[in-house]
């Protein structure tokens, strides 16, 4: 009873392969730094703006959804696995509207929607449904780093396609698909993943023309792959566009997209990140499979969370809030850009965002931005933090991951934190140049 096995050591060999592969996420290291230096200004976190959170809206919604005993009982009970009917209907019509499509377009049918515990859960369910170890996913370079960590845990390989200001480099994508075909690896390609609006981390959006070209190109390789190659359009930042930025349709609106394009998005970022409700449009047979997997995860997203978002959408409080938020982030972005112009040397290249939460900046070629770099250490000394760009590149680029970039977020920082943070970052950059 008191004997331990194995005596004196604890290995992980008895755990699953996934457990043995999974690594600590880079974000946890960044969070540790924040704990270590409480006076640190974090321009690293992907948190959203605190003061803009819909406090009054949520108070109204709580009142409204608990007005009658009957309604309260319904939302405090289990729901159905795929998500609330009305929430799926509202999600379908809102997405069709954003895409300027007829609500009867079958690509936007609410039966194709799965409501999830944040869009992160959607990405996870899809990964479970698609991937075996050594499968291949085609990625933007750079891309969403939590997705990279997920792929790593599944043992999935990446093929990185450089990101241009209007989306993936199509010629590079073509060359990559050709090379996969020649090496006989095309049959392992399961998915192309793109964050199509105000991408995390670059802030770039994929143009409609490019979406069309990507779909056409990928489909032309399916014959050689021997199976469908899905495209996952992650539109998590779509509703965080700035007021002056024109709306762009998603891939769902393209002809022949319905059976290959998977579209995911979220209500968490544009409404409240503490209310985790995301969703995806999924073709069959994937949707049925995702639904079954989700049944094993949790039987369906908490009915209360769904009811809050549903009421926000139904009442118009959601769209009112989103409009305010778009203006707010445009303003915060402008504060950051002004400070960058003031405090960064002209050797630092950076983009001017048109939506989303991030400025993507490139230090001069000889300046490394990685977590062990002189620059990062100088930043900690100055008490400011960014996300090192090297976190955002697929493992196929190892050991030559680009190492000069920084993701700088104006999401949760206040005006004065943005200004002070950029000043500190500018000082550290000058010191490192």
Nearer to its own copies, 298 or 433 (CB): 298
Q: Min. distance of Cβ 288 from its own copies in angstroms?
A: 8
Instruction: For 384, list phi and psi in degrees, rounded to 5.
Output: -145, 150
> Is the CB of residue 362 less than 8 Å from the CB of residue 128?
no
Nearer to its own copies, 112 or 117 (CB): 117
Q: Min. distance of Cβ 44 from its own copies in angstroms?
A: 13
> Is the CB of residue 413 less than 8 Å from the CB of residue 42?
yes
Nearer to its own copies, 11 or 183 (CB): 11
Q: Min. distance of Cβ 64 from its own copies in angstroms?
A: 11
Cα distance from N-terminal residue to C-terminal residue, the chain: 62
The CB density around residue 55, as the number of other CB atoms within 10 Å, is: 11
> Is the CB of residue 291 less than 8 Å from the CB of residue 248?
no
Instruction: Judge if the upstream peptide bond of residue 395 is cis by omega within 30 degrees of 0.
Output: no
d(CA 120, CA 27): 15
Q: Min. distance of Cβ 110 from its own copies in angstroms?
A: 17
Nearer to its own copies, 62 or 208 (CB): 62
Q: Min. distance of Cβ 174 from its own copies in angstroms?
A: 15
The CB density around residue 140, as the number of other CB atoms within 10 Å, is: 29
Q: Min. distance of Cβ 351 from its own copies in angstroms?
A: 25
CA 348 to chain centre: 26
Nearest Cα residue to 410 out of 361, 377, 362: 361
Measured at the alpha carbon of residue 242, what is the angle toward residues 314 and 123, in degrees to the nearest 5? 65
């Amino acid at each position: 009873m008191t004997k331990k096995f194995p005596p004196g050591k604890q290995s992980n060999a008895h755990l699953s392969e996934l457990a043995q592969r999974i690594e600590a996420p880079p974000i946890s290291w960044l969070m540790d730094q924040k704990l270590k230096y409480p006076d640190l200004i974090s321009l690293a976190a992907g948190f959203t703006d605190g003061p803009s959170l819909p406090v009054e809206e949520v108070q109204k919604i709580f009142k409204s959804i608990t007005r009658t005993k009957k309604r309260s009982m319904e939302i405090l009970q289990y729901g159905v696995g795929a998500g609330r009917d009305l929430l799926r209907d509202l999600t379908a019509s809102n997405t069709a509207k954003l895409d300027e499509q007829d609500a009867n377009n079958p690509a936007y049918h609410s039966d194709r929607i799965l409501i999830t515990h944040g869009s992160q859960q959607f990405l996870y369910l899809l990964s479970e449904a698609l991937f075996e170890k050594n499968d291949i996913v085609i990625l933007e370079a750079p891309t969403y780093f939590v997705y990279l960590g997920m792929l790593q845990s599944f043992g999935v390989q990446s093929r990185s396609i450089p990101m241009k200001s209007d989306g993936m480099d199509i010629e590079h994508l073509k060359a990559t698909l050709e090379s996969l075909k020649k090496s006989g690896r095309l049959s392992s390609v399961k998915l192309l993943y793109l964050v199509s609006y105000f991408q995390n981390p670059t802030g770039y959006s994929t143009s409609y023309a490019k979406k069309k070209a990507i779909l056409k190109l990928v489909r032309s390789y399916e014959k050689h792959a021997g199976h469908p190659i899905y495209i996952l359009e992650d539109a998590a930042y779509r509703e965080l566009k700035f007021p002056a930025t024109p709306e762009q349709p998603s891939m769902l609106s393209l002809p022949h997209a319905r059976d290959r394009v998977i579209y995911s998005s979220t209500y968490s970022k544009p409404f409240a990140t503490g209310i985790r409700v995301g969703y995806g449009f999924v073709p069959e047979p994937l949707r049925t499979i995702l639904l079954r997997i989700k049944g094993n995860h949790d039987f369906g997203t908490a009915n209360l969370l769904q009811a809050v978002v549903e009421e926000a959408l139904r009442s118009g409080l959601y769209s009112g809030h989103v409009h305010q938020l778009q203006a707010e982030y445009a303003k915060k972005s402008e504060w950051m850009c002004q400070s960058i112009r003031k405090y960064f040397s002209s050797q630092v290249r950076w983009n001017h965002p048109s939506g989303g939460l991030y400025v993507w900046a490139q230090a001069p070629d000889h300046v490394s931005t990685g977590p062990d770099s002189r620059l990062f250490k100088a930043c900690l000394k100055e008490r400011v933090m960014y996300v090192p760009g090297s976190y955002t590149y697929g493992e196929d680029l190892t050991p030559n991951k680009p190492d000069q970039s920084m993701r700088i977020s104006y999401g949760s920082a206040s005006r004065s934190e943005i200004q002070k943070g950029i000043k500190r970052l500018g000082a550290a950059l000058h010191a490192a140049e």
